[in-house]
Structure 1
């Protein structure tokens, strides 16, 4: 028995639908035919792939592995068909980019789209900055072409290309008295009793912030945890609390134009940002073209002192 793309497509659809009967309806086929395809796959791989119950089906560990690989293969088959049909034409296709929330990457989306539009008008760029999804997993599973994420350590199934490092600054509304001049830096210890609004504990930045406070042995007064940049900016502007953010986020977020911004020292807080791409799976030609544009835009941004970015 050979594993053909039709069986893989059916397998992916069953897991996405959570039910063989629902998948049969979506694929306009009959349930016994799908069951036979799953049985053939299980026989070929010598592994049980699905757990059946009254509420539907869930993949086994082996099933999850096949699901990830099947998604990649189906995606590249679709892209191959598109590339072949347009071989004599300009690059075209759909390329998705994930952008980590609360990072300078949010300021990159517009210039990336503009540059891709200028050079490769046939490519449609999809930007995803959803906090609720782990971007590296989307890249690893093939559901996203690339992502700009906070990371410096290797992530299985992906390749990380260091882009830049950015310092975090204290940002407070205009009425907050931080003491000293506007240009003076602040020791982290001076924030001991300052109300703060910060990203939730699951966010990479929050982990860096908590580790920095732990090094100076103080517990920050966190009055709210907010995983939305506009909502956090509104909280800072209203005076609910100050926050700790990259400088580019402060400068690029409406509502923080007149905020007090102070550099933090002892310790300074720095975050490394990397480009996450699939590995060892190859990238499509349109994705490679967009990657080149992305790296060009990042290089130009790093050259601007006001961006506050540093080479890693």
Structure 2
């Protein structure tokens, strides 16, 4: 049916069965038989001959009006599907944690552009929970996330980019603010900030396990938060404490100090997560750009330490 509709529209565009047949690389009788079959399927005449050439009937005009946008949408959908199947989708959709932007996202994108100048990127600042939802819907091609989203590795491809030290973020007036380093056991009497489960699933469990295994205590939590501004508000106003990945040390906030955790295994992970299936050249290049960026950042960190 599609081929007959396309042939019918070509005849209308050309105003001639002969010219349309030549354009479609088929014989005139064969094209005429196609039109007869199409008219049989719709139940009436679609074309009529005149002194001006071949013209559509009222039914032919109605068919053309309805079918042109449908065929255009069909062709667009088919082309986009082919691109996705081949791993060359129109734009790569990258979900990332805003707090990791300066140290990892910006340099990775610069490196990616050097090898894939034609590729388009859509950057989406998403929480781990939003990343998980978007990946499951097929609305995201790649997620840069942390250990709180490690559960996604059971559903998707994943790559651990690096292991990160953990920092303690405290109000500058807190007794621990002037410490060179802090052990987890020193936090047993403080209230810890924890993200809401709807924002970062698993973050509370991660903190509980960390405190129990390395500090020997069960933590007390402040009110759960949904973003970094709320984290720093609790540090300022309630003298709470936050345990954060090392890349957040680049954040500058008045009256907030970042102090390293000295416990040997007090670490977090930075992960890439992407959907199972064909990984196209552009996505492979973006993953590689992040891998190199993380490796260089880790190397620079070792030199400083």
Fold match by TM threshold 0.5: yes
Q: Which runs of 5+ in 1 are unaligned?
A: 1-73, 85-90
**Residues 170 and 239 in structure 2, CA contact (< 8 A), matched pair in contact too:** no
Offset, 1:136: 4.2
Can you list the C-alpha shifts for 1:165-218, whole angstroms capped at 9, x where unaligned?
112221112111118x632x3332221222332322453333211112234453
**Residues 101 and 129 in structure 1, CA contact (< 8 A), matched pair in contact too:** yes
- Residue of structure 2 in register with 1:252 after alignment: 250
- Residue of structure 2 in register with 1:231 after alignment: 230
**Residues 196 and 222 in structure 1, CA contact (< 8 A), matched pair in contact too:** yes
Name whichever of 240-249 and 128-137 sits farther off: 128-137
Q: Which runs of 5+ in 2 are unaligned?
A: 1-75
Larger radius of gyration: 2
Offset, 1:234: 4.0
- Residue of structure 2 in register with 1:37 after alignment: none
How many angstroms apart in 2 are the aligned matches of 1:75 and 1:186? 56
**Residues 144 and 271 in structure 2, CA contact (< 8 A), matched pair in contact too:** yes
Can you list the C-alpha shifts for 1:81-122, whole angstroms capped at 9, x where unaligned?
5999xxxxxx883111222476x4673222233333444333
How many angstroms apart in 1 are the aligned matches of 2:275 and 2:193? 34
How many angstroms apart in 1 are the aligned matches of 2:216 and 2:232? 27
**Residues 105 and 290 in structure 2, CA contact (< 8 A), matched pair in contact too:** no
How many angstroms apart in 2 are the aligned matches of 1:271 and 1:196? 16
How many angstroms apart in 2 are the aligned matches of 1:269 and 1:82? 40
How many angstroms apart in 1 are the aligned matches of 2:303 and 2:138? 31
- How do residues 59-208 of structure 1 correspond to structure 2 at under 5 angstroms? 78=80, 80-81=82-83, 93-100=90-97, 104=100, 107-131=103-127, 133-136=129-132, 138-149=134-145, 150=147, 155-178=153-176, 182-183=179-180, 185-201=181-197, 203=200, 204-208=202-206
Q: CA RMSD in A?
A: 3.6
- How do residues 272-311 of structure 1 correspond to structure 2 at under 5 angstroms? 272-279=269-276, 281-305=277-301
Query: Kindly tell me: are residues 165 and 245 of structure 1, through their superposed partners in 2, closer, same or farther at Cα, counting changes over 3 Å?
Result: same
How many angstroms apart in 2 are the aligned matches of 1:76 and 1:244? 48
**Residues 92 and 123 in structure 1, CA contact (< 8 A), matched pair in contact too:** no
**Residues 235 and 242 in structure 2, CA contact (< 8 A), matched pair in contact too:** yes
- How do residues 215-230 of structure 1 correspond to structure 2 at under 5 angstroms? 215=213, 216-230=215-229
Offset, 1:78: 0.9
Offset, 1:305: 0.9
**TM-score, with length taken from structure 2:** 0.60
The structure with the largest helix share of the pair is 2
Can you list the C-alpha shifts for 1:32-76, whole angstroms capped at 9, x where unaligned?
xxxxxxxxxxxxxxxxxxxxxxxxxxxxxxxxxxxxxxxxxx999
**Residues 166 and 243 in structure 2, CA contact (< 8 A), matched pair in contact too:** yes
Secondary structure of the 1:225 match is coil
How many angstroms apart in 2 are the aligned matches of 1:306 and 1:237? 32
How many angstroms apart in 1 are the aligned matches of 2:160 and 2:197? 24
**TM-score, with length taken from structure 1:** 0.59
How many angstroms apart in 1 are the aligned matches of 2:263 and 2:85? 53
How many angstroms apart in 1 are the aligned matches of 2:205 and 2:300? 28
